[in-house]
Amino acid sequence: MIQLVEVLDVLRTVIEPESGRNIVRLGWVRDLRVEESGIRFTILLADPSIAFASEVSDASRDALQATFGSDTNVAVDIDSEMIGMGMDHQIAGQKNDIKPGDGVVNIIAVASGKGGVGKSTVACNLSVALAQAGYDVGLADVDIYGPSIPTMFGIEDARPKVSDQRRIIPLEKYGVKLLSMGFLVDRDKAVIWRGPMVTSAVRQFLSDTDWGELDYLILDLPPGTGDIQLTIVQTVPLGGAVIVSTPQRVALTDARKGVGMFDQVDVPVLGIIENMAYFTPPELPDKKYYLFGQGGAKALADELKIPFLGEIPLEQIIRESGDAGTPAVTDPSLPVAAVFTELARSLVDRVEFRNATGPSTQKIEILHK
Ligand SMILES: Nc1ncnc2c1ncn2[C@@H]1O[C@H](COP(=O)(O)OP(=O)(O)OP(=O)(O)O)[C@@H](O)[C@H]1O
Ligand SMILES: [Mg+2]
């Protein structure tokens, strides 16, 4: 039988001419099934004209039949985001302002239960790695109490501009569009902000920003699984979450709570990343010392039946490059750059596979609870 991944590879050759992006990357392929009777999927368009939809559908069928044989049965349904995204697209009575239809295909949260495990480090390096791989990427730091992105990108003194339409124009560095709550809120004042103020500021901050066309908008969340985090993940139409943990048992216990939080709001956890997993002394490059224990995050991922995305070593250069505003992945001569590049690749695989095989109306279902 034909494999789903093979079908996806073929559909990746179907290009939307205006943007030059393939239809899998655009998140247009949904509900993909391979059955005895043939290949079936839905094309989800924000604003379908019948002519365009059937063009995409014909091109897909032609490509699939060219690969798998002209007698392969290909059934394509057309769905529109407009059906659900209008008045139905509401969470907890609030209008949701950032829609994938606005040009952002995937919004992915980087989260943890415990603080200081390397969320911001992972969010920054992953974002740059995705940009290096040719994706259009935005990174938003919604950690109002402890924003890190201005430091990690070396843009502490920069301030975003506002367009004529009164929308925030994100800054840009290393190919990533950047925005931090740290730019907008004085840190000393932020500590007295209460939960509802934080979440309404986050909503406004994300929806009033001119992100343009993005494949990925990465959110660097504040640590923990309290009210603020829960409200943020409910407010934003997240396509998925990545959980960062360190190997220690205390961190894994909190990572489990993090997974639980996303389960509660039906946001798929795309995987767990283990940070500070092992140490390799520079003079012994072939050795891996698992200082905090080995295999904990992998075991947790297996137990919770979520993917394990990979491990990141504990390296002085990761900390130094973060402090210096040049994420480690920007220097391809560092061995750890390849680790982030590989993580980004595996994240894209998960996201595209999930989008293509998941229901076309998933986001709307969340909202009807
Ligand atoms: N793999 C690593 N090797 C060495 N240092 C690291 C690594 N990952 C993160 N660090 C360092 O650990 C510190 C905490 O990392 P980071 O700020 O990314 O964590 P966080 O989870 O975002 O923290 P918070 O919960 O405060 O938001 C930083 O100084 C960072 O440079
Ligand atoms: Mg952080």
* Domains of the chain, each with CATH number or no CATH: 4-84 (3.30.300.130), 90-348 (3.40.50.300)
Identify the residue whose C-alpha is closest to ligand 1 atom 6. Answer: 319
Q: Is 217 helix (H, G, I), strand (E, B) or coil?
A: strand
Mean pLDDT, range 171-195, rounded to an integer = 82
Per-residue pLDDT, 330: 97
Query: CB-hemisphere CA count at 13 Å for 89?
Result: 18
Q: Which of 120, 229, 244 to mutate to test the pocket of ligand 1 (most atoms within 8 A of CB)?
A: 120
Which is nearest to 252 in space by CA: 284, 300, 285, 309? 300
Judged against a pLDDT cut of 70, whether residue 182 lies above it is answered with yes
Mean pLDDT, range 28-48, rounded to an integer = 90
Per-residue pLDDT, 363: 38
How far is Cα 278 from Cα 276, in angstroms, rounded to an integer? 6
Residues with CB under 5 A from ligand 2 (ion): 119-120, 148
| Closest listed ligand to the CA of 152 | 1
Signed CA dihedral, 304, 309, 314, 320: sign only: negative
190-222 in b/e form (b: 16+ CB < 10 A) is beeeeeeebbebbbebbbebbbeebbbbbbbbb
How far is Cα 171 from Cα 268, in angstroms, rounded to an integer? 29
Q: Which of 112, 119, 121 to mutate to test the pocket of ligand 1 (most atoms within 8 A of CB)?
A: 121
Which is nearest to 221 in space by CA: 254, 197, 243? 243
Q: What is the DSSP string of 38-81?
A: EEEEEEEESS--HHHHHHHHHHHHHHHHHHH-TT--EEEEEEEH
Lowest mean pLDDT among 7-16, 43-52, 151-160: 43-52
Q: How far is the CA of 239 from the centre of ligand 1 (A)?
A: 24
Atom from ligand 1 closest to the CA of residue 319: 31
Mean pLDDT, range 75-89, rounded to an integer = 62
Q: Is 244 helix (H, G, I), strand (E, B) or coil?
A: strand
Per-residue pLDDT, 369: 29
Name the packing angle between helices 227-235 and 195-207 (round to 10°): 30
Which is nearest to 292 in space by CA: 110, 114, 149? 114
Per-residue pLDDT, 86: 36
Per-residue pLDDT, 234: 85
CA–chain centroid gap for 245, Å, is: 17
Which is nearest to 217 in space by CA: 292, 166, 142, 268? 142
Q: What is the pTM of this model?
A: 0.90
pLDDT tens digits along 269-324: 999 999 999 998 888 888 999 999 899 999 999 999 999 999 999 999 999 999 99
Q: How far is the CA of 327 from the centre of ligand 2 (A)?
A: 14
Distances in Å between the alpha carbon of 350 and those of 24, 183, 258?
A: 12, 32, 19
**Residues near ligand 1 (Cβ within 6 A):** 112, 115-121, 143, 146, 148, 223, 275-276, 312, 314-315, 318-319, 322
pLDDT tens digits along 46-55: 776 778 888 9
How far is Cα 231 from Cα 201, in angstroms, rounded to an integer? 12
